Homo-oligomer: A and B are copies of this chain.
Amino acid sequence: MQGVVMYGPGDVRVEKRADPRIESPTDAVVRLAATSVCGSDLWPYRGVESAAWPVPMGHEYCGVVEAVGAAVTSIRPGDFVVGSFFASDGTCEICQEGYHSGCVHREPACPGGAQAELLRVPLADGTLVATPGAPDEDLIPSLLAASDVLGTGWFAAVAGAAGPGKTVAVVGDGAVGLLGVLAAKHLGAERIIAMSRHTDRQQLAIEFGATDIVADRGEDGAARILELTGGYGAHSVLECVGTAEAMRQAVRSTRRGGHLGFVGVPHSVTFDGLEMFFSHIHLHGGPAPVRAYLPDLIQRIYTRQINPGLVFDLRLPLSHAAEAYRAMDERKAVKALLMP
């Protein structure tokens, strides 16, 4: 099969790789209908994160089950499935409490890389969710989004306690931030302030439910949020970047007693104990428990209540993966979908 491998910063190649096979009785092999490039794939691409090169890439996926191991009971070959980027057993106490991405047996769900034609997924029963029948073609981008960016934006909104009567501020206008806006809207938030300085992303934020746009960043951005909220700060702030500057902005935009949900993988981020103490913030984040949300998200997509697939503003064949990375790196695309 063909698959994407990163050989070093900026060096993305599509090459022939061995077809994945069932290795354990709890595995499934999925023929991918679509896959994509994640904002977090840009950390190694930009050399901010090192890796044991070469690395097979990708952890966002949906497609048709081709084979399952002998112990798999909840999905069958032929099922269309969506899965999380973390494999989970689905049975431990942490999974039962809805934190599948904190499963005591968690492991990467895409050891071979999901930017490929075929993918082996471990712990298939606890990781994959079958859709109700084969999806209409136009739903596939949204189902793909559910496997990570939508689930992650959703978790940001849940962790940030977005809901009725709340003013929500979203830091980060990447796909996760934009889908954080969508999640806040569908969780009932009253006012949603998207922080973005790019016209196209502002437009999409508004389409997803943003009521206000703030183009300021850092201290100025936080000051603007305070100004818009009577000096109190937002009830609910979603941090969807992962840098120290974005986190500082998020902390200072949150009112005392408010909630900060953070889903950007922290890079050189620390929280000062005394600032956290006197800010009275509820802080919660981490890798999103996407698996917990999938049944609900699939249902919302199938009934066309939400259209998260709109974040894909670039579609390319898998063979053009390098172009997809470049476009996202240069912020010419919000998010690229790759067709295997």
Q: Which positions in A face B, CB cutoff 8 Å? A: 92-94, 97-99, 101-102, 104, 230-232, 247, 255-257, 262, 265-274, 276-287, 289
Contact = CB atoms under 8 A, between A and B. Distances in A.
A287 to B, nearest CB: 7
A161 to B, nearest CB: 10
Contacts of A268: 273
A101 to B, nearest CB: 7
Given A247-B273, A273-B269, A281 B284 contact: yes
A104 to B, nearest CB: 7
Contacts of A274: 265-266, 269
A247 B272 CA distance: 12
Contact of A265 (B230, B277, B283): B277
A278 to B, nearest CB: 6
21 contacts: A93-B255, A94-B232, A94-B255, A94-B257, A98-B257, A104-B231, A104-B232, A256-B286, A265-B274, A266-B273, A266-B274, A266-B277, A269-B274, A270-B272, A270-B273, A276-B283, A276-B285, A276-B286, A277-B285, A278-B287, A282-B282
A92 B188 CA distance: 24
Contacts of A93: 230, 232, 255
Given A256-B102, A266-B273, A271-B270, A286 B282 contact: no
Nearest to A275: B266
Contacts of A270: 270-273
A96 B286 CA distance: 30
A276 B280 contact: no
Contacts of A283: 276, 282-284
Contact of A276 (B255, B256, B271): B271
A114 B337 CA distance: 65
A305 to B, nearest CB: 27
A278 B99 CA distance: 11
Contacts of A97: 257
Contacts of A104: 231-232
A280 B232 contact: no
Contacts of A94: 232, 255-257
Which of the listed residues A104, A276, A281 has the most CB atoms from chain B within 10 Å of its own CB?
A: A276
Given A94-B232, A230-B93, A271-B270, A277 B262 contact: yes
A110 B109 CA distance: 56
Contacts of A269: 272-274
A280 B101 contact: yes
A230 B92 CA distance: 10
A282 B285 CA distance: 8
B286 A280 contact: yes
Q: Which 8 A-B pairs have the closest CB atoms?
A: A269-B273, A102-B256, A266-B273, A99-B257, A271-B271, A280-B286, A283-B283, A102-B280
